[in-house]
A and B are shown apart, each in its own frame.
Chain A
Amino acid sequence: MESNELALAMSGSALEVEGSGKTEEQVLKRAIAGDRLAFDQIVLQYERRVLITAWRLLGSKEDSQDAAQEVFLRLYRYLDHFDEKRPLLPWLYRMTVNVCHDLYRKRRQDSTLAAAEVDWTTLTYDPGVEITRSEQRRIIKAAIKTLTEKERAAVVLRDIEGLTTKDVAGVLGSSETTVRSQISMARVKIRKFVDRFEKRRL
């Protein structure tokens, strides 16, 4: 989904559900009326986004699968309370953040990866060899794990998912000022984490 499509989806404009030939509103309306096929279309449309977001928030493939499953089951349970005119994506993001928060709390001791626990030995230390893209990503993922939950949610939604600060505030139920502060702190922390890694290489 391109960023302009994402903006449309967040603002609730009519966005075609892949392969269905219908807008999200129409599909959602049918799903609310009990049409299982329509609900399956919604799952197909959003499963990748929900799963990836959960993965970034939790840092674990298995946990993110559990989280994605829970998000869609909650969607199914609460379909009756939905207004089909409202966009679904912000709700899905909010639910993903909430479910990940619950899972994170449940498995806090395992999933929290402090800077000292990063497996530095598996990274390239030869200053003459440029670190690969996959290594860069591993470093960034390790850096994300050092953030607080709120900072992580804010920076994942803003910088990786590409939401606007206003949309992030809406999803997290915070003010834009609070979100800006969290994003700012997160970016600085990530920068400093990468800096520590680069100093180890030298």
Chain B
Amino acid sequence: MNCLDFEKLIALDIEGDLPELKAEKLGAHLKACRNCREFKDELRASQAMLKSLAEESAEEAVLEEVRGRVLEGIAAEAKPPRFLAWRFAVGAALVTTAIVAAVTLWRPRTPLQVARISQPPMQEHPDVGTRQRGQDGGATASETPAPQRGGEKQASPEVTRAASKASERPPARTEKAEHVVRRQKQSQAPLAAHLEPPQPEPLTVKFMTDDPNVVIYWQVD
């Protein structure tokens, strides 16, 4: 060890922070090294200066200012007593549990089905077939599926899309949902149908829910 190493030990020894074994080693060195003895004296003086800072105190006005700022800050953050905080926490936990349980346990008993349309057979206008081909990727009017038994007909692609859009919605309260899609009454005048292209027919989708008081209508152009 050289004198620089011993300086660090002196710095600890001067305040009694040096373990006994090292203190003995330092003592032996100090006996033989004048420079380190001088350093120890100087260090003692600077330590006295350092410790004199403990005599300084804060002015009362400064303390009052800090106190005022603390109390202002606390008033701004005013919080309820601990027992109220507990009650709030318990209440929040119960509500969360109830919501999680409801979401986890709830399952629709009847799957959503694409509606079938009850409507009388209708004569297709050539323009309508063209429009459908454009929309359906090549299906012509003659390719349109024939009416089903009992006057029922499969839903047109437009209707199917509308219904599938509906099925994408959240199925709130749709247990035992029954979807009835109706076409509005069409004009009974075949001549008029030939004279002017039929306007897009609005569709009405009706959602039946468990609650008889809640019926959802959805109209699609």
Contact (Cβ within 8 A) A40 B11: no
A-B Cβ contacts below 8 A, count: 121
Does B53 belong to the interface (CB within 8 Å)?
yes
List which B55-88 residues lie within 8 A (CB) of chain A: 56-58, 62-63, 65-67, 69-71, 73-74, 77, 80-82, 85
Contact (Cβ within 8 A) B63 A51: yes
Closest B residue by C-beta to A159: B50
Contact (Cβ within 8 A) B8 A137: no
Residues on A with C-beta less than 8 A from B9 are: 184
Contact of A73 among B17, B50, B70 (CB under 8 A): B70
Contact (Cβ within 8 A) A184 B53: no
Contact (Cβ within 8 A) B49 A137: yes
Closest A residue by C-beta to B65: A65
Given A47-B63, A160-B51, do A76 and B74 touch, yes or no (CB 8 Å)?
Answer: yes
Interface residue SS majority, chain A: helix
Stretch from A9-17, A18-26, A117-125, A188-196 contacting the other chain: A188-196
Closest A residue by C-beta to B39: A191
Q: Please classify how large the interface on chain B is, using the bins under 10, 10 to 19, 20 to 34, 35 or more.
A: 35 or more
Contact (Cβ within 8 A) A180 B74: no
Contact mask A52-73 → B, CB, 8 Å, 1/0? 1001100001000100110011
Contact (Cβ within 8 A) A51 B53: no
Contact (Cβ within 8 A) A47 B81: no
Residues on A with C-beta less than 8 A from B39 are: 191
Closest B residue by C-beta to A73: B73
Contact (Cβ within 8 A) A136 B52: yes
The residue among B8, B51, B85 with the most chain A CB atoms within 10 A of its own CB is B8
Given A47-B67, A48-B63, A184-B8, do A160 and B50 touch, yes or no (CB 8 Å)?
Answer: yes
Spell out A's residues near B (CB within 8 Å). Answer: 32-34, 36, 39-40, 43-44, 47-48, 51-52, 55-56, 61, 65, 68-69, 72-73, 76-77, 80, 133, 136-137, 139-141, 143-144, 155, 158-162, 165, 180-181, 183-185, 187-188, 190-191, 194-195
Spell out B's residues near A (CB within 8 Å). Answer: 7-9, 11-12, 14-15, 17, 39, 42-43, 45-47, 49-54, 56-58, 62-63, 65-67, 69-71, 73-74, 77, 80-82, 85
